[in-house]
């Protein structure tokens, strides 16, 4: 008799990224026009996911929570997080998800997000081995960072609208990390 271990779920919200090496962990997120890049090093047994709202870097100086909205910032954080956990850049592989056109009257920022992620990874020499982008409905994504397995579920119209509402809210402001040391 084998006992199956329930996966440890870690949810990623807009502006976040996580790196894990737990084979029983699954990263999950809900995407509309946002994109999630899922990267892993299959030899080191480590992987991660990010969730960004806008492509590129924006046209204005970024600080705090503003930076977490943009793809370039979160892609760099994810790659550096993987490298710090023992991954090697030459072994990284990626999957890209999201980028739906959730509101027909808006510009297609989802398409721009997906194109940005693909171009960024190409420029970094990281092959895209799978994923699913585009469409007109949101999706729920699950990614097992050690095995590289990914699964997505399409969202209904009402679920997609809730996701769009969340994407239109300002990104949470990240609190600065305390770096000072007090000696006694």
| Residues with a known catalytic role | 34
Contact 57, 70 (CB under 8 A): yes
Q: Supply angle C-alpha 94, 121, 89, rounded to 5.
A: 70
Q: Which residues contact 162 (CB under 8 A, 6 or more apart)?
A: none
Q: Are 151 and 173 spatial neighbours (Cβ–Cβ below 8 Å)?
A: no
CA 38/CA 29 separation, integer angstroms: 11
């Amino acid at each position: 008799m084998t006992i199956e271990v329930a996966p440890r779920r870690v949810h990623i919200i807009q502006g976040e990224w996580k790196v894990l090496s737990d084979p029983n962990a699954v990263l999950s997120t809900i995407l509309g026009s946002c994109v999630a890049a899922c990267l892993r090093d299959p030899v080191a047994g480590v992987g991660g996911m990010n969730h960004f709202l806008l492509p590129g870097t924006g046209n204005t100086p970024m600080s705090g929570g503003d930076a977490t909205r943009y793809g370039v910032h979160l892609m760099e954080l994810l790659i550096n997080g993987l490298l710090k956990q023992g991954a090697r850049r030459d072994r990284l592989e990626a999957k890209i998800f999201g980028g739906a056109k959730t509101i027909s009257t808006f510009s297609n920022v989802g398409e721009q997000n997906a194109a940005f992620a693909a171009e960024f990874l190409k420029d970094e020499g990281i092959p895209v081995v799978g994923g699913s982008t585009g469409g007109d409905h949101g999706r729920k994504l699950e990614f097992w960072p050690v095995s590289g397995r990914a699964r997505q579920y399409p969202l209904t119209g009402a679920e997609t609208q809730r996701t769009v509402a969340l994407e239109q809210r300002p990104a949470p402001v990240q609190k600065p990390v305390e770096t000072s040391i007090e000696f006694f």
